[in-house]
Amino acid sequence: MPAETRLFLCRSDNYGVLLHDPETGATATIDAPEAAPIEAALKATGWKLTDILVTHHHADHTDGIRALKDKHKCRVVAPAGEAAKIPAVDKTVREGDKVQVGKLAADVIETPGHTAGHIAYWFDRDKLAFVGDTLFSIGCGRVIEGTPEQMWRSLVKLRGLPDVTRIFCGHEYTGANIRFARTIEPNNKALAVREAQAKQQIAKSEPTIPTTIGEEKQANPFLRADVPEVAAGVGMAGKPAAEVFAEIRARKNRF
């Protein structure tokens, strides 16, 4: 049976998401920005929390862990590189490890850059990826603990997932990301289509995610640093992709 998901806002612009295996009843929350909206989503669905899958140590992804763990006795899975900064960890994972949520199986993909130990969870059978603050729709996370080159390699890894992969990210930043992306690729038709779609979604207070790898490859400038038009657009024709990426990321920080 296919995995089910439920997406909801937490804090101001964080996303919470539940992943449910209808066959076994197992349910994971990906990160735990705050306990109350996660509890509300569990109540609304009737699902029982069995696992917390943590992508990275930032407080807006981990503040709810302790309360959820106390109440549900769920298992906390966290990146090996950051487990010391994350509360109540039961199991640490790294690149290539498998994580089960009931019968749903994820591969762990290490995606350093935003934080040094950041990971993503890739559910191959259901073509779902939970990417935390590495990749956003039409954007990417700030490079806080790693280097731009590391972040570029992490994004290239995610870009290699199948086009149909649905991407759940940690924040609703799509509107601002599109405004910035238009300054890098003003003539990108896929980006114009995405802008029109996102405007409608935002006007109706609907989430702009999940997005897909296929859509992001066409319109997200941070996944396109090795496209000649993008390099030329920032005056860096012929430069290595990681340098082009660093320039785009620097411009976004100032935007």
Q: Provide the binding-site residues for Zn ion, judged by CB under 5 A.
A: 58, 133
Q: Cα torsion at 132, 108, 116, 88 (round to 10°)? A: 80
Report the residue number, 59 or 250, with the smaller CB distance to Zn ion.
59
Question: Is 72 in the active site?
Answer: no
Pick the closer one to Zn ion by CB: 171 or 194.
171
- Pick the catalytic residue: 21, 51, 57, 58? 58
Q: Residue 252 and residue 246: Cα distance in Å, rounded? A: 10
Residue nearer to Zn ion on the CB measure, 81 or 233: 81
What minimum distance in Å lies between the beta carbon of 55 and Zn ion? Answer: 8
What is the separation of C-alpha 178 from the centre of its chain, rounded to a whole number of angstroms? 17
Of 20, 57, 72, 171, the catalytic one is 171
- 57 catalytic? Reply is no
Residue among 212, 165, 215 nearest 189 (CA): 215
Annotation marks residue 58 as catalytic:
yes
| Identity of the residue, 55 or 208, whose beta carbon is nearer to Zn ion in the bound complex | 55
Minimum separation from the CB atom of position 120 to Zn ion (A): 13
Query: Of the listed 20, 57, 61, 118, which one is catalytic?
Result: 61
Of the pair 58, 69, the CB lying nearest Zn ion is at 58
Task: Judge whether 133 counts as a catalytic residue.
Answer: yes
Whether 171 sits among the annotated catalytic residues: the reply is yes
In the annotation, is 118 catalytic? Answer: no
124 is catalytic: no
128 contacts 3 by C-beta, under 8 angstroms: yes
What is d(CA 115, CA 107) in angstroms, rounded to the nearest whole number? 19
Question: What does the block give as tokens for 35?
Answer: 């306990």
Task: Return all residues near 76 (Cβ < 8 A) that are at least 6 apart.
Answer: 51, 52, 54, 65, 69, 86, 87, 88, 89, 90, 91
- In angstroms, give the least distance from the CB of 234 to Zn ion: 25
Least Cβ distance, residue 136 to Zn ion (angstroms): 11
60, 72, 118, 126: which one is catalytic?
A: 60
Q: Return phi, psi of residue 106, to 5°.
A: -115, 145
Asked if residue 163 lies in contact with residue 216, where contact means CB atoms within 8 angstroms, the answer is no
Q: CB-hemisphere CA count at 13 Å for 79?
A: 27
CB of 133 to Zn ion, least distance (A): 4
Task: Give the whole-angstrom CA distance, residue 245 versus residue 240.
Answer: 9
Enzyme catalytic residues: 56, 58, 60-61, 114, 133, 171
